[in-house]
Structure 1
Amino acid sequence: MSKPSTRERLIEVGLRLLRSAGYSAAGINQILQAAEIPKGSFYHHFSTKDEFVIEVIERYATGEMERLERNIQSASLSPLKKLRAYFKDLIATYGQRGGPISGCLLGNLSLEVGGQNEEIRTLLESAFSAWQKELAKIIREAIDAKELPRTVRPDDLAALLVNGWEGAQVRAKATQSDKPLELFFNYTFNVLLKP
């Protein structure tokens, strides 16, 4: 297996550090030190930290959309079961079993820098909107499959799921416990979306 390029290494390390430490604590020097790359290499690939952060956000958002696609591909599962499997995977990945809870990068950066940098804020909103749109598609499939009533508004329900998950992530990070994630999951699938 070939060694990742310097740019790829920076993005990988940046993704890990931004998720665990946040925007302010993950300075360029910390990223370079963790990546074991000289300072000039950073500026060869990125002109500013914000340009770098934008690249990291895009990589993270792409990876999360791929996770969603993997979880909903099973033709043998109903739409709600696909959605359930997807959120179970999120809990397994972002809960304590996946290591210390550091939360969703989109949510963390929204709280930390979303109000300070318009380009980053716009990208974060775009990533949340794309995620919501994909969840709404699955909800429409569930309505078509008669798992949910026709009165359900897919876009609103998808927004509620995104908002609920992000809130649960914040609480899980604060408590370093999976309980908020599990509460979100149980209430969502055993009460709100119970067929």
Structure 2
Amino acid sequence: MNANQRLDKRDLILAKGAEVMTRRGYHGAGVQEIVQAAGVPKGSFYHYFASKEEFALQALQQVYGPRLQRYGQALANPALSPRARILGYYAELVEHFAQQEKLEYHCFIGSLSFEMAELSPTLGSEIDAILQRSADILQACLQQAQDAGELAANEDCRSLASFITSAWQGALTRLKVANNTCALEDFMQRLQRLLQA
């Protein structure tokens, strides 16, 4: 087996295992279920990961690395004003959920944070770091909006970015609980009000 095949198998286990863990939670997702979803022998799991905790850590990095990259690109789009970038990004997400025939949302980072942040300091630190990177990306765009006169000059962009990031996570939790998009629509309404000069 060459290096690319080994990498492909590891990535497959991470991708399929993250889906299982997102649906069933950390404790509800056994190694056997993860490898069955990936279609690989159980020994393959322990070849790549020393433990389920290490698997979850690497899965977080694999899932959220590309997402943060896409978020950064969207919020740095020079074709739009900073305010339009932020509102457009979240509006597209809300529209995505609104168009789903069966409204479902499973948040990998949300599931792990509720279940494991206190039990595993390693996972808790990684989850916090991912959320902080998201807030940092947003803060940079908010500062550009402020420089462009789209946001009040006395606005604290760091605090606002932290608030918006946390509010979005909370809205996603309500989406899952209520099985409707009301919380997301409320989020968008308030976001538009927040991003006014």
Same fold by TM-score greater than 0.5? yes
Letter aligned with residue 145 of structure 2: A
Distance 1:70 1:6 in 2: 28
- TM-score normalised according to structure 2 size: 0.89
Counterpart residue number, 2:162:
159
State the identity %: 26
Question: Does structure 1 residue 97 correspond to structure 2 residue 100?
Answer: yes
Quote how far apart the aligned CAs of 1:72 are. 2.4
Letter aligned with residue 51 of structure 1: E
Classify 1:64/1:173 alpha carbon distance in 2 versus 1 (closer, same or farther; 3 Å): same
Distance 2:101 2:78 in 1: 27
Letter aligned with residue 195 of structure 2: L
Classify 1:5/1:123 alpha carbon distance in 2 versus 1 (closer, same or farther; 3 Å): same
Q: Contact 2:25/2:111 (CA < 8 Å) preserved in 1?
A: yes
Question: Does structure 1 residue 113 correspond to structure 2 residue 116?
Answer: yes
Q: Contact 2:175/2:184 (CA < 8 Å) preserved in 1?
A: yes
Letter aligned with residue 194 of structure 1: Q
**Aligned pairs (5 A) from 1:46-125:** 46-93=49-96, 97=100, 100-125=103-128
Distance 2:132 2:161 in 1: 10
Counterpart residue number, 1:183:
186
Distance 2:144 2:113 in 1: 30
Counterpart residue number, 1:194:
196
Distance 2:39 2:98 in 1: 29
Distance 1:135 1:94 in 2: 21
Q: Contact 1:95/1:101 (CA < 8 Å) preserved in 2?
A: no
Counterpart residue number, 1:12:
15
**Cα RMSD after superposing both structures:** 2.1
Paired positions, count: 193
Distance 1:185 1:174 in 2: 18
Structure 1 unmatched runs, 5+:
none
Quote how far apart the aligned CAs of 1:149 are. 0.8
Distance 2:176 2:58 in 1: 24
Counterpart residue number, 1:174:
177
Distance 2:145 2:46 in 1: 48
Is the deviation greater in 134-143 or in 64-73?
A: 64-73
Deviation track 1:63-82 (CA, whole Å, cap 9, x = no partner) reads 22122123224322110100
Distance 1:90 1:23 in 2: 26
Distance 2:58 2:102 in 1: 24
Letter aligned with residue 128 of structure 1: L
- TM-score normalised according to structure 1 size: 0.90
Structure 2 unmatched runs, 5+:
none
Which of 28, 35, 43 is matched with 1:25 structurally? 28
Quote how far apart the aligned CAs of 1:165 are. 0.3
Quote how far apart the aligned CAs of 1:94 are. 5.6
Classify 1:99/1:188 alpha carbon distance in 2 versus 1 (closer, same or farther; 3 Å): same
Q: Contact 2:75/2:138 (CA < 8 Å) preserved in 1?
A: no
Is the deviation greater in 9-18 or in 97-106?
A: 97-106
Quote how far apart the aligned CAs of 1:88 are. 2.2
